[in-house]
Structure 1
Amino acid sequence: MNWETIEAPADAISPAPLTVRAQFIPARHFFPEHSHRWHQMVYAISGALTVISEGGSLVISPEQAVWLPTGLRHKVGSLLGAEFRSLWIAEETGRALSGTAPMVFAVSPLLKALIIEAAAIEGRQDDDGYAGRITHLILDQLRRTRPLPTALPWPRDGALATLCEALYSDPADPRGPEDWGCVLGMSARTLARRFVSETGMSLRSWRRRMRLFRAIELLGGGMGVTRTAMELGYGSTSAFVYAFRLEMGSSPQAYMRGRGEEVGNRSASPTARVGSE
């Protein structure tokens, strides 16, 4: 299935100092390659985003965001659909935040809540300075970000991208390098070598990290632990729980319970208006 494009607005106005855009990205849709005269923070409050830039290709979970500095050409999309949030930050303001290179960083519960609130009040009259205070808090949070190495790398090579899309869509797919080599017209050894070259990790390690990303998506959508384990292709619930604990330091139940408590500690926010990337 081909990907479809989403057109960005032609009348975008430079942020002063920050603008929040909100949009749902349907499955297999993307914003075509472009750049901005301002910095951008790419984030999804639910679902996963694919971000392709001069610095590489990767997928980020709802716990992560990507900083894209001014002038960097990039594409943003979603394989399975995502609630997309984009922060546009003025050139001078952003220069003192996360630097001039693309970066993946963790989104704290506070920063997520601030982004949701900023999107909800975007465009409203700010008589008492409330929106300005939210903006200052967001910028203050961005100053405290630190790079993360845990994004999911994504190959640029067409054949390998096809492989990754198939596995991401169906994590339980049992086919190994030999089977996929036949499908893609290459030997298992060639596939393995090219995959490491494109992503910096083996196919086996990539699948393990990909399953973690999908686990967070599925659990966050309300799916139970046992069904999530089956959807991801684990032989048993205990095997899934063990793998999750190994990567995240807690069981799936404890991880999601912690997220629920974080959400419960925040006041409910109105639904964000739809904008564009």
Structure 2
Amino acid sequence: MTWSEISAPPDLGSPTPLTVRVQSLAPRTYFPEHSHHWGQVAYAISGVLSVNIPGRSFVISPRQAVWLPAGVSHRVGSLMGAEFRSLWISTSVTGDLPVDPAVFSVGPLLRALIAEAAALQETDDDPDYRDRVTGLVLDQLRRARALPAALPWPRTTMLAQVCEAIYADPTDSRSAEEWSAQLGISARTLTRRFEADLGMSLRTWRRRMRLFKSIELLGGDMDITQIALELGYASSSAFTYAFRTAIGVSPTLYIRGEASAP
């Protein structure tokens, strides 16, 4: 399936100092590559975003966001659909934020503040309150903890085809040899391209993707056993072991907020 290009709303000007864009992204839609004269936080309150910047491509869950300094070229989309909340922030107030793009954790407070800031754009009945919410959003961004990485995503069409299929069906356990036969290349070539583009093997990426998607599913109403089966684990105990090994706590404790996103 192909992706469809969508355009940004034409009626939003420069932030003064904060503007929150609210938009529902349909599956397989994207904003074409562009940049701004202001900073941006790319975030989704539900669903998953794909973010492409020079030299890096990854996806983020509602527990993560991406900071994009002014002038950084980027492309944002969603494979499965998402509720997009994009924060445009004037450079007059971003002096304390990182000078390079960064992925960071989004906790309950920042998530609630983003939702409140978006709602306040619909009314001007209390500008002082809106200013205080804006100040709290900026304070939370300054205190945000950067993450070493999100789920890496390939920039090449061939590898994206493989990753999209596995992401859509995490139980897909086809090996590099099986994928290479389908793509008409050698297994060695496919492995080499995965290592060059993503810095890891297909098997390692699949394992990381399952962990990433488990975090997305844990934010819903699905129980541990359902999640384990959805992701292709043999049992709930196998899923719990893999999750605890990677995150440091069980899925149940993670839901209670006793660990951050990986």
Q: Root-mean-square deviation (CA), in Å? A: 1.5
- Deviation per residue, 1:193-250 (Å, 9 max, x gap): 1101101122222111110111122222211211111111111111011111112222
Structure 2 distance, partners of 1:194, 1:137, is: 43
Tell me which amino acid in the other structure corresponds to 2:153.
W
What is the rounded CA distance, in whole Å, between the counterparts of 1:128 and 1:76 in structure 2? 31
Shift of 1:123: 3.5
Post-superposition CA distance 1:157-179 (Å, at most 9, x none): 11101001011001100101100
Residues 128, 153 of structure 1: alpha-carbon distance in 2 compared, 3 angstrom cutoff: closer
Secondary structure at 2:143's aligned position in 1? coil
Partner of 2:19: 19
Does 1:201 find its partner at 2:204?
A: no
2:51 is paired with a residue of what secondary structure? Answer: strand
| Ranges in structure 2 where 5+ consecutive residues have no aligned partner | none
SS in 2 for 1:258: coil
Partner of 1:44: 44
- Corresponding position of 2:147: 148
Relative to the length of structure 2, the TM-score reads 0.94
Partner of 1:138: 137
Is 1:186 aligned to residue 195 of structure 2?
A: no
The amino acid across from 2:195 in the alignment is V
Q: Which 4+ residue blocks in structure 1 deviate beyond 4 angstroms?
A: none
Cα 1:128/1:17, change in 2 over 3 Å: closer
1:91 aligned partner, one-letter code: T
* TM-score relative to the length of structure 1: 0.89
Question: Paired residue for 1:53?
Answer: 53
Between 1:214-223 and 1:109-118, the stretch displaced more is: 214-223
Whole-angstrom CA distance in 2 between matches of 1:190 and 1:110: 46
Q: Which residue of 1 aligns with 2:89?
A: 89
- Structure 1 pair 227–127 and aligned structure 2 pair: CA distance change class (3 A): closer
Report the alpha carbon displacement of residue 258 of structure 1 after superposing the two structures with TM.
3.4
| Aligned partner letter, 2:12 | A
User: In the alignment, is residue 253 of structure 1 matched against residue 256 of structure 2?
Assistant: no
- Counterpart of 1:70 in structure 2 is 70
Query: Structure 1 CA distance, aligned partners of 2:231 and 2:73?
Result: 34
1:127 corresponds to which residue? Answer: 126
> Percent of aligned pairs with the same residue?
60
Letter in 2 for 1:252: P
2: CA distance, partners of 1:2 / 1:250: 38
Unpaired stretches in structure 1, ≥5 consecutive residues: 260-277
Q: Which structure's relative contact order is higher, taking Cα pairs within 8 Å and 6+ residues apart?
A: 1
Taking the aligned partners of 1:213 and 1:28, their CA distance within structure 2 comes to: 19
Query: For this pair of structures, how many residues does the alignment match?
Result: 258
